[in-house]
Amino acid sequence: MYRFSNSLPYLLARLGVRMGDLFVRVIRHEKLTLPMYRVLAALSEQGHPLRLGEIAELTSADVSTLSRIVAEMSRAGLLTRDRPENDQRSLQVALTPDGAELASRLMPIAQHYEEVATGAMSAKEAAELKRVLVELYRNLDRLEHEVEAGLIEVPAAAAPKETREAKIGARTNAKPDTKGNAGRRRKIPRK
């Protein structure tokens, strides 16, 4: 039987939210949010400028939100934003020296959080867990296709009591009460 409190999305979200909240307690001293850290870490890990869409893919952020975050980080001197001459519609984002230095100080803290979270797991078990999580994420492509194709729909809900009573009244051809006989209905034979 499906149980919300034991469902995979709930357990993953619960873990992610708790780790994120604890990490924010540290990075807020650097005037960063969790999405800002993710941008720094993604750029640091890749080691070269990235287009906004590439950062969105790596951080699971939508491009419009990411655009605002990148603009704020650029004003803070952590990133540069340039439009390549050969593609004026694209925006290339790169770490500044200050951004790279900040990422290099924060990423070991993130690694420590991961080590604490994996606890008594061996390195092999932790690697297997990560492999499974990546596989689960890729499996969601199937769900995306099913949703886009309209193959998954919410079953019709039971009608609220008022609606059920209204439907019953319509089926039985209830007449307005003119003689003080509240709720009196005349049955209509079904064909």
Split at pLDDT 50, 70, 90, the class of 161 is low
Query: In the chain, how many H helices and how many E strands?
Result: 7, 3
Q: What is the pLDDT of residue 120?
A: 93
User: Average per-residue pLDDT in the chain?
Assistant: 87
Residue-wise DSSP of 92-118: EEEE-HHHHHHHHHHHHHHHHHHHHHH
What share of the chain has pLDDT > 90, as a percent? 73
Average pLDDT value for residue range 31-54: 96
Tokens for 58, please give them: 């790596």
Q: Which pLDDT tens digit goes with each residue over 108-159?
A: 999 999 999 999 999 999 999 999 999 999 999 999 999 999 998 888 887 6
Q: Which two tokens mark 6? A: 């034991």
